[in-house]
């Protein structure tokens, strides 16, 4: 069975045709529980997210700040497994028809088996993977299997990436390019900063792929700012924090649905 890279491509093309950025939401699988995590994904889509990234919880998430680390810890203590990540992708996609990607560090895939992981993700209806710590020069095996199964390979670029390096990364990627707005870990911030706009411009000079910005966006004003120069606005920690701060699961679902609505309005006001 083929994955949903084409659905991802058409979704991003449709938001561009509508003269707006896509809203891309991130939530970890298994948080607060596997079932609760699936409902949270549905809630952010109901609120207005165009695309969702499902985080595969990891004990040492080097790109993630304390908020997502806390959620990952809850998921891992709850016994989440890769099978639960695949179930989250499957049930969220079947319920909504929205493209769903997995964001994961390389070690779990390497241990699970690249062919097994890509085949199962495609069978679940996944659109691809975001791989923040897989060096492009070591990615040939992954890309071979991802292409075979119709999955996007999304690489991360950073403000420190030199232009030649950007060209190498974007040439190997598919779906979109994840532009980290600043050097550091995920988390909400008062300002996204000018570094992100410069990085988007330099990245676009190397590729026709959409360039989507993550790290730091937490409210509608910031979403509108980033939507003014990026093809997509990626929000993770703000959704996770809304779930963590809620007194119970129902309140958490209401909070992420409401936040998605505010952010969806923001990306339309660029």
- Catalogue the active-site residues: 53, 64
What ranges make up the beta strands (E) of 158-223?
177-180, 211-214
Distance (Å, whole) CA 155 – CA 173? 6
Distance (Å, whole) CA 73 – CA 85? 15
Residue carrying structure tokens 């699961």: 249
CA distances from 238 to 152, 242, 257 (A): 25, 6, 12
**What is the distance of C-alpha 149 from the center of its chain?**
19
Element (H, E) at 220: helix 220-227
Least Cα distance to 128 among 112, 107, 147, 108 occurs for 147
221: Cβ contacts below 8 Å, ≥ 6 apart:
266
């Amino acid at each position: 069975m083929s994955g949903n890279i084409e659905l991802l491509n058409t979704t991003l093309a449709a938001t561009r045709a509508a003269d707006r950025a896509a809203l891309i939401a991130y939530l970890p699988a298994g948080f607060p529980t596997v079932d609760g995590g699936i409902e949270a994904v549905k809630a952010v889509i109901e609120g207005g997210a165009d695309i969702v990234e499902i985080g595969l919880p990891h004990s040492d998430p080097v790109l993630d700040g304390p908020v997502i680390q806390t959620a990952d810890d809850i998921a891992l203590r709850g016994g989440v497994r890769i099978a639960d990540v695949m179930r989250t992708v499957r049930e969220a996609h079947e319920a909504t028809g929205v493209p769903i990607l997995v964001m994961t560090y390389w070690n779990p895939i390497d241990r699970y088996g690249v062919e097994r992981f890509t085949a199962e993700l495609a069978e679940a209806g996944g659109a691809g993977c975001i791989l923040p710590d897989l060096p492009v020069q070591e990615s040939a095996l992954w890309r071979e299997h991802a292409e075979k199964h119709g999955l996007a390979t999304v690489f991360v670029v950073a403000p420190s990436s030199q232009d030649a390096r950007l060209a190498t990364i974007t040439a190997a990627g598919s779906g979109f390019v994840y532009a980290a707005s600043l050097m550091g870990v995920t988390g909400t911030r008062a300002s996204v900063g000018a570094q992100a706009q410069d990085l988007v411009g330099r990245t676009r000079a190397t590729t026709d792929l959409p360039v989507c910005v993550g790290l730091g966006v937490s409210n509608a004003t910031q979403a509108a700012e980033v939507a003014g120069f990026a093809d997509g606005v990626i929000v993770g920690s703000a959704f996770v924090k809304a779930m963590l701060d809620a007194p119970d699961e129902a309140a958490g679902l209401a909070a992420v649905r409401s936040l998605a609505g505010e952010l969806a309005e923001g990306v339309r006001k660029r």
